[in-house]
Structure 1
């Protein structure tokens, strides 16, 4: 199984210590939050001074080369792709700017040879009257077409109702992707959502072909607990021949916790 971990789980100062632990555990993927690597600089309201996370493609290429040549890692996924953005996909006045920003993310991912970008963005997708969920189809269809142009996919992630009121169930994310049938769209299977909603992994066996990336996560991104669902998921993925990455996603925690988690997940998904 291809294993990765998201770099939101530790401090920047611990990067090399975690990379070493990843190598020892057999992990080959580093999922990134772009602003964790390239923090925005300058004033966002001043285009002459502001430098966003996706503005330096040369730096992205150098970072990708460093990961591959020094550590043997690829970047299988990007998350938090709209960090700092305030627009909403249901507001017509916001969609053009959001799509332009997303296209920058796609170009950045292409430069990194990163195939999948997670679309969570719960604050940017709340659906309030008079808008209806069906209105989002046009946005995602356009976004999927942009993704295909750059040779990547936008992986739609369901988020529980505590975070947003649109695409709350895993089945909703699959339904959107199957309905649009856009090659630039896929599903990010998020275990924390499945756990929070009381969903059953077996209900999604026939849909795994639509999955481009998987998050092993806990509700509220707490440190990973040992759960029977992990072994169940590993068996399911092997049975259907899943070839993507399984990635650990936790909020920032201690270096020891990261190391223990890497060892545990490597054992379960061996």
Structure 2
């Protein structure tokens, strides 16, 4: 199971230094925010293929995308029909781009695009199950998978704030095009027990973010890290672990340190990486 790092950590101007440094430090992939390739209105298949080749030349893969709704307007998972239809059309485009990038997992966090509005919790859950079915089919048709991420209330989220809730949602949708994403920072915030959570999620878990609450520089996880490493090994987790850190001015100076910290935290999970 290989290690990746999200390119939101450093600035676009730092790509030429950050990308080779990430590889030499032990990362095998880059989780990509699509608008770091080009703005939505300018992003196309050719630019996606060119970016993929750029990373391939550095011996880097693109296992996943994040920030897949960044900067988009008038789109909502749980909003009016028109807003949902715009979301569907955008997902079709992003799924196509993901395929050309070789990115098999698309992380759906985006708290402001899944707000409940006036809906109660059960109403929102039922509507999400209904609407995520067509979304999942779009992903499957494109040969990719949407992975649903729990987002804590501290980020302005009011729908699916814990990994347990995300697991229940993915299970209810019951579609190959939708799987579970484990965000470690969200797990810590929700005070979820790592071993039990991972064991219950074994058949649905498809992607992992190593993050900390607040998305700052990564820190030692202590007993939580040991438990997570052991739990992921116990379920034979074969997906990627991607480091997620919000943009930092001193990203380049800390990039190698972050990757080495992750490798030390998941020493057994990463032992068989390919």
Per the normalisation by structure 1, the TM-score is: 0.91
The alpha carbon displacement at 1:158 in A equals 0.5
Corresponding residue SS for 1:80: coil
Aligned length: 257
Corresponding residue SS for 2:203: helix
Unpaired runs of 5+ residues, structure 2, are 268-274
What is the match of residue 88 of structure 1?
A: 76
The alpha carbon displacement at 1:52 in A equals 4.3
The alpha carbon displacement at 1:137 in A equals 1.2
**Counterparts of 1:213 and 1:113 in 2: how far apart (Å)?**
15
What is the match of residue 104 of structure 2?
A: 115
How do 1:180-195 and structure 2 match up within 5 A?
180-195=173-188
What is the match of residue 271 of structure 2?
A: none
User: In the TM superposition, what whole-angstrom CA distance separates every residue of 1:74-108 from its partner, at most 9, and x where no partner exists?
Assistant: 11110010111232212222111110001100000
Using a 3 Å threshold, how does the CA distance of structure 1 residues 142 and 36 change in structure 2: closer, same or farther?
same
Corresponding residue SS for 1:8: coil
**Counterparts of 2:4 and 2:236 in 1: how far apart (Å)?**
18
Does residue 256 (structure 1) correspond to residue 245 (structure 2)? The answer is no
User: In the TM superposition, what whole-angstrom CA distance separates every residue of 1:123-165 from its partner, at most 9, and x where no partner exists?
Assistant: 0111022462111111111100110000100000011122211
Does residue 72 (structure 1) correspond to residue 59 (structure 2)? The answer is yes
Corresponding residue SS for 1:267: helix
What is the match of residue 62 of structure 1?
A: 50
**Counterparts of 1:12 and 1:128 in 2: how far apart (Å)?**
35
Aligned counterpart in structure 1 of residue 232 of structure 2, from 231, 237, 244: 237
Q: Which ranges of 4 or more aligned residues in structure 1 deviate by more than 4 Å?
A: none
Q: Which stretch has the larger CA shift, 243-252 or 226-235? A: 226-235
How do 1:169-248 and structure 2 match up within 5 A?
169-204=162-197, 205-228=199-222, 229-248=224-243
Does residue 139 (structure 1) correspond to residue 136 (structure 2)? The answer is no
Q: Which stretch has the larger CA shift, 79-88 or 141-150? A: 79-88
What is the match of residue 46 of structure 1?
A: none
Q: Which stretch has the larger CA shift, 113-122 or 194-203? A: 194-203
**Counterparts of 1:80 and 1:224 in 2: how far apart (Å)?**
19
What is the match of residue 149 of structure 1?
A: 141
What is the match of residue 128 of structure 1?
A: 117
Using a 3 Å threshold, how does the CA distance of structure 1 residues 208 and 218 change in structure 2: closer, same or farther?
same
**Counterparts of 2:258 and 2:117 in 1: how far apart (Å)?**
39
1:107/1:150 contact within 8 Å kept = yes
2:22/2:255 contact within 8 Å kept = no
